[in-house]
């Protein structure tokens, strides 16, 4: 499913399980990239993992637009 659609599901689905599944899929797709860049920037894998998890798994906020996601002009 293209991530633009996943973002819409996270924002608008009335079903919590559907929202959670879509959010988990977004995290599955973006976590490796976030981990790579935080590790590269910080130079310490343990600190990088803590920072990445803090950013990815803090309490879910509404994903406001697909423009906030990297490569938002492409379908996955």
Distances (CA, A) of 43 to 35, 38, 54, 59: 11, 8, 17, 26
In contact, 56 and 5? CB cutoff 8 Å? no
In whole angstroms, give the CA distance from residue 14 to residue 11.
9
Confidence tier at 8 by pLDDT (50, 70, 90):
very high
DSSP-derived secondary structure letter, 66: G
Closest C-alpha among 63, 46, 73, 54 to residue 12: 63
Q: Does the reported pTM lie above 0.75?
A: no
| Interval 30-72: pLDDT, tens | 889 989 999 999 999 999 989 988 888 765 665 555 555 555 5
């Amino acid at each position: 499913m293209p991530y633009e659609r996943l973002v819409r599901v996270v924002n608008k689905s009335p079903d919590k399980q559907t929202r959670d599944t879509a959010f988990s899929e977004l995290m599955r797709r973006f976590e490796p990239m976030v981990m790579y860049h935080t590790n590269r920037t910080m130079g310490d894998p343990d600190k990088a993992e803590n920072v990445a998890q803090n950013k990815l798994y803090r309490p879910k906020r509404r994903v406001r637009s697909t423009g906030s996601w990297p490569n938002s002009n492409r379908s996955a």
